[in-house]
Amino acid sequence: MLEDAYTRLLALLDQDNIPYRLIDHAPEGRTELVSALRGNTLQQAAKCIILLVKLGKKVTKYVLAVVPGDAKVDLAAVKAFMGGTYVAFASTEIAERLAGSETGTILPFSFTPELELIVDPALLENEELYFNAARLDRSMALRASDYVKVARPRLGRLIQPRETSTESLASPDRTA
């Protein structure tokens, strides 16, 4: 399962002659920690979350929401963007099956029609994106423009408003 998603990613990029960099590091799947290992900012990290969206009473859909690593997914925004009636995090089992990789290594690409790719445009404000390459011990750096060209996501606001530095100073007991 893990090697398949990694191999598919490399094949997809190589067939279109898309340049990328592979970064080997200690095994890590948490956004904050792996970003430190790679040397990128949290804003440059592509955080990938698989969500279940109900569209009425009988239709259920899964989406791969990709947001900047310093942001939190806004479930109400995803529900509105998708025209849904309910949104929740997918179970680990379903998320890993749809992604083709384990939690912490989910790619910001969908290789199945069962999983719709949606991306917050705030992530694309970065020149380069970083993400685990379907492995805990290897990441990829990819130009944002190339990512959009190859992945072809739907773009929409998916994140909660970010704290400003004065808000975080005023609320020292707030956790991330």
Q: Write down the pLDDT at residue 172.
A: 43
Q: Write down the pLDDT at residue 4.
A: 87
Give exposure, 82-108, as e/b (b: 16+ Cβ within 10 Å).
bebeebeebeeeebbbbbbbbeebbbb
Give the torsion sign (CA, 165, 169, 170, 176).
positive
CA–CA distance from 141 to each of 15, 19, 35, 124, 161 (Å)?
A: 17, 9, 11, 13, 26
4 vs 24, higher pLDDT = 24
State which amino acid sits at residue 105. Answer: T
* CB distance 55 to 82 below 8 Å: yes
Q: Tens digit of pLDDT for each residue in 32-80? A: 999 999 999 999 999 999 999 999 889 999 999 999 999 999 999 999 9
Q: Which domain holds residue 121?
A: 2-158
* CB distance 83 to 59 below 8 Å: no
Secondary structure (3-state) at 154: strand
Length of the chain: 176
CA–CA distance from 48 to each of 45, 56, 117, 166 (Å)?
A: 9, 25, 10, 28
Per-residue pLDDT for 165 more than 90? Answer: no
How many domains are contained in the chain? 1
Residue 168 lies in a domain: no
Q: Write down the pLDDT at residue 56.
A: 87
CATH number of the domain enclosing 130: 3.90.960.10
Residue 175 lies in a domain: no
Region 120-138 average pLDDT: 96
Residue 169 lies in a domain: no
Average pLDDT of the residues of the chain: 91
Residue 167 lies in a domain: no
CA atoms within 13 A on the CB side of 159: 20
Region 86-112 average pLDDT: 95
Per-residue pLDDT for 111 more than 50? Answer: yes
Region 157-171 average pLDDT: 63
Name the pairing type of β-strands 20-24 and 59-68: unpaired
Residue 58 lies in a domain: yes
Q: Read off the pTM.
A: 0.88
